[in-house]
Chain A
Amino acid sequence: MSGGALWSVALAVFAGAIRGGTPFLFVSAGECLTEKSGKINLGLEGVLLMGAMSGYAISYKTGSPWVGLLAAGGAGLVLGFIHAWLAQQPKVNDIAAGIAMIIFGSGLAFFLGKPFIQPLAPQLPGWEFGAWSSNPAARSALRICPLFFVGVFVVFAMNWFFNATRWGLFVRAVGDKPDAARAMGISVWGVRTLSIMAGSCLAGVGGAYLSLFYPGSWTERVSGGQGMIAVALVIFGHWNPVQCLWASLLFGGAQALGPALQSVGVSSYYYLFNASPYILTLLVMIVTCSTRKQLAGQPGALGTGQ
């Protein structure tokens, strides 16, 4: 591989880290908030698709991508409420509820989104940080959606929320020791419902980013399992929102590797390279998980059905 090709692959991976990492960022931040309250929401994949569909559809109908973004967040809130309500019923496994929400959410998105596969909806704007460069690849790599910065802000705000606010303490208490939290007079149901809904709203916004900025169209394959990878990202990030940010960037870059290599002529194993985010997730989980000790930062009530 020549120097120029290497440079272009590196640029594509960098661009992918930011462009492709943004949806991971939103979904993993949402999942992080959800899991901190002690429940898993595997259904964020369905939320992502619903967010992508409703964001695109509303943007097309109203002509404003920002209204579409709001609609996507709203769709996330609604689906989040369904999950929160179902997953907190006695004897209902939250992982199974998540699988049901994947099927329900994606079915609903495919159903309602059928008429919007063809038309072009107004897209979210991008900020041109690469105007100084004459290289078109660099220019497109440095065209960054404002949502990316919103996501970075959300992540740091969430970190502050967990560590320095009263409500953050409530969420952590409910996630670690629900019984103790209940004894303190905190409403476990209320805190979990709000956390799951807020997390789901973030995932909906991430979905709108998919259909309204990058890749920037609504198709049934627009998410490709990113909602489920996010669950693994949270484990990788040890339930710390800031580490979820780094993990999201890493995965965004990994996702861009296959197409980048193909564009410079390395096309053998193209399909396997496309699976690299999934393989990477699996490897990361194999390395970080352990049967003996609980992971640092893991909420105590997670996966116990409490």
Chain B
Amino acid sequence: MEPNGAEGDAAHLASVALAEAPARRFSGIRWRSKLESVVIPLGVIIVSMILFGIFVAWQGAEPLAVFASIKKGAFGSWFSFQNTLVRAAPLMLCALCTAIPLRLGLVVIGNEGALVIGGLCATAAGLQCQDASASTVHIVMAATGMFAGGLWIMIVGALKQYRGVNETISSLLLNYVAIAVLNQAVNSWMKDPDSLNKPSSFPIPDEKMFQPFGDTQIHWGLVFGIIYCLCAWFLIQKTTFGFQIRTVGANVRAARLAGLAVGPLTLLTCFIAGAAPGLAGMVEVAAVQGRANESLNAWYGYSGILVAFLARQNALACIFMSVLLGGLLASGGILQRAHHLPDATIVVFQGIVFLTILYSESLYGRFKFFQEARE
């Protein structure tokens, strides 16, 4: 350590900067750290597959056969891959709800609630204007869903910013509140009297629903998901606004000293994050369910949290991780049928992957091999 703190640090920083500058200029691609960010996630997948294999073997199933079934159920045929993609769409949107605020340093897990509220409000709006043309209905529904989901997560940001309420806990509680609001709505003021077994809202007319593309099952949801992820990536990585977000996330005091309006920035970021699962809820109604009911609460939100952490908060990586996890979700049925494993098997697998990925965070920078050589 240098004897005099501040000056020593400054000198050290300067020397590091000097040492790094030529390395950047001459050695071209800094492949070692790039390789690290590929090898460690791959290792995570392998280790968690081994752990999961041990688990299913303990439960009396053949691990290799189970993995073969998962692969078959997820990517085995064009039909099953379509199923995977259909499930990946809401996952992408839900993942953004966690991934974007993580850049601010906030762990928001209100994805499920924002999805439910978005779907409910989109249904209400769609029913109000159901006589208009299909595209008008879609636009009104999408706008309402996004707005409702955005406001829902904005509450979380505002509570954090102005009252110091822990955002993880408040967003989690809001999930339960959202589900209660949904149940209340479909059991009273929005209730379709014909829906006896499963209380639901009145249905959106069939011709006003999203139609699948061609003879596939894929619908607009996937397009929305990919576009939202691309936009979020561009916003965070390539714009001034995104730079502000990352600055706040790196050091909120430094951001304040630099004159950034941390409060409004937090609220706006949370709104953008919440609008994504809100849109997912609208898509679930407009493309899958056709009405608002309990089925909206299908754990996409909780899986989205996992996707956000798997993707290490990178919106582009969210697309690929969603497809992987969507495949895993799609293979739940085949595990039940072919191996007599309960549907919770997939949840166990998700838990193992999640634990392993968190452990892997502590491995970055621990291996000498992945350090860039300092010239």
Contacts and interface: CB of A to CB of B under 8 A. Distances in A.
A275 B177 contact: yes
B351 A286 contact: no
A82 to B, nearest CB: 7
B78 interface: no
Contacts of B170: 282, 285
Q: Is the interface of A mostly helix, strand, loop or mixed?
A: helix
A279 B181 CA distance: 11
A104 B348 contact: yes
B140 interface: no
Interface in B160-194: 161-166, 168-170, 172-174, 176-177, 179-181, 183-184, 187-188
A275 B358 contact: no
B51 to A, nearest CB: 11
A98 B373 CA distance: 36
Contact of B355 (A101, A279, A282, A303): A101
Contacts of B188: 268-269
Contacts of A271: 180-181, 183-184, 187
A119 B107 CA distance: 40
A107 B169 contact: no
A130 B59 CA distance: 46
B354 A99 contact: yes
Interface in B325-375: 341-352, 354-355, 358-359, 361-362, 364
| Chain B interface category by residue count | 35 or more
Contacts of A278: 173-174, 176-177, 180
A133 interface: no
B305 to A, nearest CB: 6
A6 interface: no
B309 interface: yes
A100 interface: yes
Contact of B354 (A104, A232, A282): A104
A82 B362 contact: no
B351 A91 contact: no
A104 B355 contact: yes
B345 A111 contact: yes
A270 B180 CA distance: 9
A254 interface: no
B164 A103 contact: no
Contact of A103 (B168, B177, B306): B306
A111 B347 contact: yes
Contacts of B187: 270-271
A268 B184 CA distance: 9
A110 B309 contact: no
Contact of B163 (A90, A91, A225, A289): A289
| Chain A interface category by residue count | 35 or more
Contacts of A235: 166, 169
A231 interface: yes
A85 B7 CA distance: 38
A12 B267 CA distance: 41
Given A92-B362, A275-B180, A114 B344 contact: yes
A105 B349 CA distance: 11
B43 to A, nearest CB: 15
B168 A42 contact: yes
B174 A291 contact: no
A89 interface: yes
A289 B168 contact: no
A291 B169 contact: no
B109 interface: yes
A296 interface: no
A279 B179 CA distance: 12
Given A90-B362, A104-B355, A290-B164, A99 B305 contact: yes
Contact of B173 (A42, A92, A228, A268): A228
A275 B161 CA distance: 25
Given A271-B187, A292-B164, 5 more contacts: A89-B359, A89-B361, A104-B348, A275-B179, A279-B173
15 contacts: A42-B168, A82-B355, A86-B359, A92-B359, A92-B361, A97-B358, A99-B107, A107-B347, A107-B348, A110-B343, A270-B184, A275-B176, A275-B177, A282-B173, A285-B159
Interface of B: 59, 107, 109, 159, 161-166, 168-170, 172-174, 176-177, 179-181, 183-184, 187-188, 302, 305-306, 309, 341-352, 354-355, 358-359, 361-362, 364
Interface of A: 42, 82, 86, 89-93, 95-97, 99-101, 103-108, 110-111, 114, 224-225, 228-229, 231-232, 235, 268-272, 274-275, 278-279, 281-282, 285-286, 289-292, 303
Q: Which 3 A-B pairs have the closest CB atoms?
A: A104-B351, A107-B347, A275-B180
